[in-house]
Amino acid sequence: MAIEEAKYIWKNGELVPWAECTTHVLTHSLHYGSAVFEGMRCYYNEETDASYVFRLQDHMERLIRSAKICMTEVPYTADELVAATLELIKACELKSCYVRPLVYRGYGQMGVDPTGAPVDVIIACWPWGAYLGADALEKGIKVGVSSWRQRSNNAIPPQMKSSASYMNSILAKLEAKAHGYSEAVMLNEDGYVCEGTGENLFLVRDGVLSTPPVSEGLLEGITRDTILNLAMDLDIPVVEERLVRADLYGADEVFFTGSAAEVTPVAAVDDREIGGRGPITKALQDRFFEMTAGKLPEYSDWLYEVK
C-alpha cells in the first residue's frame, strides 16, 4: 500500500520534515537487515474528538527487547519513545494513523559485523487504511498455505521483530499473490501452522477459539494477546494448540490479527471456502474496534491519548 506523506518524522530526538528525513545508501541495515521495528495504530473517536494509540507502551517495550536480542543498544527508554510518538502524531495533526518506530544501524561500517555503526532511531506515522483491503474486514480474504516455511526458533528468533525476518514473509507474500491469494499462511519447519506473513492466526471450530502457541515459532503478537483477553472477557473458550493445515480447511471461522491487519476474517484457504466473518470473529472484531476507539473504559490502560 502506498504511503501518504505526513509533515514530520521523529529522528534521534528531533522532528524532521518528512522529505528531509533521509539516510545514506551505505547504511548498514540497508545491506544486512540489522534493524528492528514495530507497528501500531492510532484510532479516532468521532464522538469525543479524541485519538488513542493502542498499547503504545507494550510496543515500545517489545522494540527494546528486540534490539536487546540482536545486541543493539537503544539510546532511549520505552517511556521516552512513548512520549516522542505522541508528540509526533500531534505535530503531524493526524487524528488516526499507522505508527512505525525503527531502530537501525546507520552509516559508517560495512561487513556483517555491525560493531561501530551508529544506532539511529526513527518514528514515522501516516494515514493508512485497512491493510488487506477495504472490504477485507467484512467479507474476508482468500489465502493459501505457502511452500515457504517460517524461520525456526534457532535461526532468526521470532521474539525479535527484525527487518531481516521479513524477507521470509516477502517470499511467501509474493508467492501468494502469484497464485491469486491476498495473503499466505506459513507453516513452521515441523509442518505445523505458524502465522501469516505479518499476522497471527486464529480459527474457530464448534464454538472454540484456537491459535498456535508461541513455541511454534510465531511472533508474540500484541494484537494476538489482546484477542486472547477479549475472548476470555466474552466467555469464548480458547485453547492454544498445535494446528495442521487440514485444521484450517475444516474450521468454521479463520481470522488474522495484527496491528496492521487488525482483525481480518478469512473467506477461503487453498480454495476451500470458510465463509468469511462468522459470529465469533464478528464479536471479537466489534469489541476490538469499540475498545481501540476508547468506548470501553475497562480497557483504558491500553490507550494512550494524543493531547
pLDDT tens for each residue of 146-167: 999 998 888 899 999 999 999 9
Q: Are residues 89 and 227 in the same domain?
A: no
Among 46, 112, 108, 103, which residue's Cα sits nearest to residue 73?
A: 103
pLDDT at 1 over 80: no
For residue 16, being part of any structural domain is answered with yes
With respect to residue 83, please indicate whether it lies within any of the assigned structural domains: yes
Identify whether residues 280 and 142 lie together within a single domain: yes
- Asked, for residue 298, whether it belongs to a domain, the answer is no
What's the average model confidence in pLDDT over 4-23? 97
**Could you give the CA distance from residue 5 to residue 124 in angstroms, rounded to a whole number?**
10
Calculate the average pLDDT of the chain: 96
Q: Are both 196 and 275 inside the same structural domain?
A: yes
Mean pLDDT of 171-180: 98
CATH number, residue 79: 3.30.470.10
Number of domains in the chain: 2
What average pLDDT does the segment 122-138 reach?
91
**In whole angstroms, what is the distance from residue 63 CA to residue 161 CA?**
7
Residue 3 forms part of a structural domain: no
Residue 1 belongs to some domain of the structure: no
Q: Is there a domain that residue 29 lies in?
A: yes
pLDDT of the residue at 10: 98
Task: Assess whether pLDDT exceeds 90 at residue 272.
Answer: yes
Residue-wise DSSP of 124-162: EEE----TT-TTHHHH-EEEEE-SSPPPPTTTS-TTS-B
Asked if residue 201 and residue 81 are part of one domain, the reply reads: no
Q: In this structure, are 199 and 180 located in the same domain?
A: yes
Per-residue pLDDT band for 107 (boundaries 50, 70, 90) equals: very high
Average pLDDT (105-113) is: 96
**H or E segment to which residue 303 belongs:** strand 303-305
Last residue of a domain, one of 75, 107, 126: 126
Catalytic residue among 11, 142, 161, 173: 161
CA 60 from chain center: how many Å?
A: 13
Instruction: Report if residue 227 sits inside a domain.
Output: yes
pLDDT of residue 171: 97
Which residues, other chains included, contact 184 with Cβ-Cβ below 8 Å and sequence gap of 6+? 143, 144, 145, 146, 148, 172, 173, 175, 176, 196, 197
Q: Do 90 and 197 fall into the same domain?
A: no
Are both 113 and 187 inside the same structural domain? no
Q: What is the pLDDT of residues 72-104, one digit of tens each?
A: 999 999 999 999 999 999 999 999 999 999 999
| Over residues 248-276, mean pLDDT | 97
Residue where one domain finishes, among candidates 88, 104, 126:
126
pLDDT band at 132; cut points 50, 70, 90: confident
Residues 172 and 285 in one domain: yes
**Annotated catalytic, 95?**
no
Find cell 510518538 and name the residue.
Answer: 85
Distance CA 262, CA 272 (A): 23
Residues 118, 67 share a domain: yes
Q: Is the pLDDT of residue 70 over 90?
A: yes
Write down the pLDDT at residue 19: 97
The pLDDT, as a whole number, for residue 2 is 83
How far apart CA 206 and CA 224 sit, in angstroms, is 20
Q: Measure the CA–CA gap between 234 and 152, rounded to whole angstroms.
A: 34
pLDDT band at 276 (very low <50, low <70, confident <90, very high): confident
Residue 134 has pLDDT above 90, yes or no: no
Q: Which of 93, 126, 159 marks a domain boundary?
A: 126
User: How big, in percent rounded to 5, are the helix, strand and coil portions of the chain?
Assistant: 30, 30, 40
Residue 276 forms part of a structural domain: yes
Does 279 lie in the same domain as 234? yes
Instruction: Assess whether 50 and 90 both reside in one domain.
Output: yes
Domain holding 220, by residue range, is 136-292
Report yes or no: 193 and 248 within 8 Å, Cβ to Cβ.
Answer: yes
Shared-domain flag, residues 47 and 26: yes
Q: The domain that contains 210 carries what CATH number?
A: 3.20.10.10
Residue recorded with cell 469464548: 236
**Rounded mean pLDDT, 129-153:** 92
